[in-house]
């Protein structure tokens, strides 16, 4: 095998649609037209198809037989299980998951969607957009799929009518894109006849109005997004290997990121760390391993690790939580019982629920959020869930493996629901608030205070490792705003620790509370019409997002990420903090023995190695003053 062939990437995609929309026929016809079937497969296809079928008369061949693998499916003419198939073209390798169309087999489709990157949604041109199509789209979206190829099939039955094609396309976009409002969603619409092979492998002249590519060309050229998920290293330990007294290895599947020999790691939740000594894959020693690899790791230190523990990098996005928010797809014929305890199974943890609090149910017809009534088979809803122990959890959109779970009925041992974590820790939202407290009405509004200062107030939130330049840039930015006649104020980490937050330490909980207080202080200052500059490491992405989304409600908040690598910060070390932390004199220091969660979507990213402090200030001013009035 050539090196070029070995290096081909793999695109995993799912095909789904309602019964008799032609999913299996579409896949079979694509393999046939692309000459990807073996001689034996072709001979078998002819034999099991109708008597009049032949290789030279493809419209008589029953292509669905190539993917429908179960006898029951052949007898009923439907797909009732997920059928997986591998094929390869000159450009790329593919894995197809052909999914059942019946509503009672939604669980099968949900399983396939969690392991694929692209969804092909089939719509029958005669029927148009139906409820099951909407359900399939939404489930795929919940499982993290952003790229959708919408195949409007059986166009030969409507004479490839352009108006029909456009109407179905517009109906789908009206339902999906406008309802969800996710800028990362990407759609392709193709008019196809699966049985006749139009626009599958080759462009067809039956639909001259269609200017896009054939289906297979789209799949071959589609860019695989490698940045969808959390990239920092994390692995759950499944088994501790002790073949003899001289060897102690930790086995598991890497959930995210990459690990290398000599890399420093932490044992999540135990406040201990070590370095990777050896990495084994299939008993072969390697220098590094990546997400998806099943490995055995040895460490340089004797540390307490057992099955169920997690090893992570110091930049891991995991949080130790017993209360989280999640979307659930109900898979059981018996409806959810709110007062019943279920078993929650995460990657390698099983815990019991202590509370399942329904927030709302998704109306599958228009994706609106409706009041909870009952939760039955194939219903999708949102819940706050409490469990009896804190375990490592992260949001599903950061890490599919560590952010997904199933609910199990303790008595029947049946899987009753599939879940995706939306918010891995609800402690911030759950802070107690007295029922006797209410907001006071103030006659002078925030708008009035901003108007008299002749500026648009906002919070400029500088975040980054110690030594990244936050205080320097904040000070220069404050001077620049002053010279422009603006009313600004700096909140700096060290200064605040001497005053309002002098009662807090440096545990994760105290850091969390430190930044929460700062967030509310910044909001009060912007309400007073000021431009407030916040200069804090603020390592926890969750609390930063809480400030941005909940306190500021995504208004008047500019997150500035000083993207400076830790080695550069160590060299700068203006306060000798890294030196002390590495010597063990400072505990829980960010970047050394405490993690830093880099922002996902900051308004500004500044490389302080590439740009001077003055240039950084200019870039911030360009954004902050752009809409200033």
Count of C-beta atoms within a 10 Å radius of residue 205: 7
Distance from CA of residue 234 to its chain's centroid?
15
The three-state (H, E, C) secondary structure of 187-198, written as one string: EEEEECECCCCE
**Quick check: helix, strand or coil at residue 519?**
helix
Per-position DSSP letters for 50-100, written without gaps between them:
-TT-BTTBGGGS-GGGGT--SHHHHHHTS--S-EEEEEE-SS-EEEEEE--
* Structure token digits, residue 624: 């902050």
Per-position DSSP letters for 127-161, written without gaps between them:
T-S-HHHHHHHHHHHHTT--EEEEEEE-GGGGTT-
Specify whether the CB–CB gap between 473 and 462 falls below 8 A. Answer: yes
Going 29 to 204 to 146 to 335, the CA torsion angle's sign is: negative
Going 449 to 557 to 518 to 493, the CA torsion angle's sign is: negative
Active-site residue 54, yes or no? no
Separation of alpha carbons 570 and 272, rounded Å: 21
DSSP code of 438? Answer: -
Specify whether the CB–CB gap between 23 and 188 falls below 8 A. Answer: no
Query: Active-site residue among 274, 538, 598, 612?
Result: 538
Specify whether the CB–CB gap between 34 and 201 falls below 8 A. Answer: yes
Please list the active-site residues.
Answer: 538
């Amino acid at each position: 095998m050539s090196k070029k062939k070995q290096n081909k990437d793999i695109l995993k995609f799912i095909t789904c649609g309602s019964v008799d929309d032609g999913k299996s026929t579409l896949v079979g016809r694509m393999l046939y037209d692309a000459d990807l079937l073996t001689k034996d497969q072709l001979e078998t296809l002819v034999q099991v198809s109708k008597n009049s079928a032949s290789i030279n008369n493809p419209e008589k061949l029953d292509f669905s037989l190539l993917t429908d693998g179960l006898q029951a499916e052949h007898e009923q003419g439907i797909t009732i299980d997920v059928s997986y198939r591998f094929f390869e073209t000159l450009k790329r390798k593919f894995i197809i998951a052909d999914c059942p169309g019946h509503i009672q087999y939604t669980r099968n489709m949900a399983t396939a969607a969690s392991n694929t990157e692209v969804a092909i949604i089939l719509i029958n041109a005669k029927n148009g957009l139906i409820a099951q199509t909407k359900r399939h789209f939404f489930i795929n979206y919940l499982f993290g799929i952003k790229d959708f190829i919408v195949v409007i099939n059986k166009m030969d039955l409507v004479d490839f009518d352009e108006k029909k094609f456009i109407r179905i396309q517009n109906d789908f976009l009206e339902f999906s894109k406008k309802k969800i409002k996710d800028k990362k969603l990407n759609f392709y619409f193709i008019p196809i006849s699966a049985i006749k092979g139009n626009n599958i492998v080759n462009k067809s002249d039956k639909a001259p109005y269609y200017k896009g590519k054939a289906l297979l060309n789209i799949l071959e050229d589609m860019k695989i997004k490698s940045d969808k998920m959390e990239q920092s290293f994390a692995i759950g330990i499944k088994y501790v290997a002790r073949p003899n007294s001289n060897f102690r290895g930790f086995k598991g599947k890497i959930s995210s990121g990459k690990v290398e020999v000599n890399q420093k790691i932490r044992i999540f939740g135990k406040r201990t760390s070590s370095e990777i000594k050896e990495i084994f894959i299939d008993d072969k020693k390697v220098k590094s391993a990546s997400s998806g690899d099943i490995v055995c790791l040895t460490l340089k230190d004797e540390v307490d690790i057992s099955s169920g523990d997690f090893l992570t990098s110091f930049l891991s996005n995991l949080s130790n939580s017993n209360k989280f928010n999640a979307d659930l797809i109900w898979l059981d014929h018996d409806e959810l019982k709110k007062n019943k305890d279920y078993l929650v199974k995460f990657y390698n943890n099983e815990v019991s629920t202590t509370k399942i609090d329904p927030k709302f149910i998704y109306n599958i017809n228009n994706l609106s959020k409706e009041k909870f009534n009952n939760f039955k088979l194939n219903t999708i809803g949102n819940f706050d869930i409490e469990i009896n122990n804190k375990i490592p959890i992260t949001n599903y959109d950061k890490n599919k493996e560590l952010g997904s779970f199933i609910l199990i009925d303790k008595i029947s041992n049946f899987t009753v629901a599939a879940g995706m974590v939306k918010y891995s820790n609800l402690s911030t939202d759950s802070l107690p608030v007295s029922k006797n407290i209410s907001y006071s009405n103030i006659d002078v509004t925030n708008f009035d205070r901003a108007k008299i200062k002749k500026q648009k107030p906002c919070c400029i939130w500088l975040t980054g490792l110690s030594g990244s330049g936050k205080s320097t840039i904040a000070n220069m930015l404050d001077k620049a705003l002053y010279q422009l006649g603006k009313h600004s104020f700096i909140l700096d980490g060290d200064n605040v620790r001497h005053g309002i937050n002098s009662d807090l330490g440096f545990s994760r909980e105290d850091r969390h509370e430190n930044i929460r207080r700062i967030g509310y202080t910044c909001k009060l200052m912007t309400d007073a019409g000021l431009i407030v500059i916040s200069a804090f490491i603020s390592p926890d992405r969750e609390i930063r997002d809480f400030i941005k989304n909940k306190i500021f409600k995504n208004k008047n908040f500019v997150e500035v990420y000083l993207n400076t690598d830790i080695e550069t910060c160590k060299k700068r070390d203006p306060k000798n903090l890294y030196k002390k932390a590495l010597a063990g004199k400072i505990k829980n220091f960010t970047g050394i023995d405490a993690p830093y969660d880099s922002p996902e979507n900051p308004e500004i990213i500044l490389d302080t190695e590439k740009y001077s402090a003055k240039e950084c200030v200019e870039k911030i001013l360009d954004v902050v003053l752009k809409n200033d009035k």
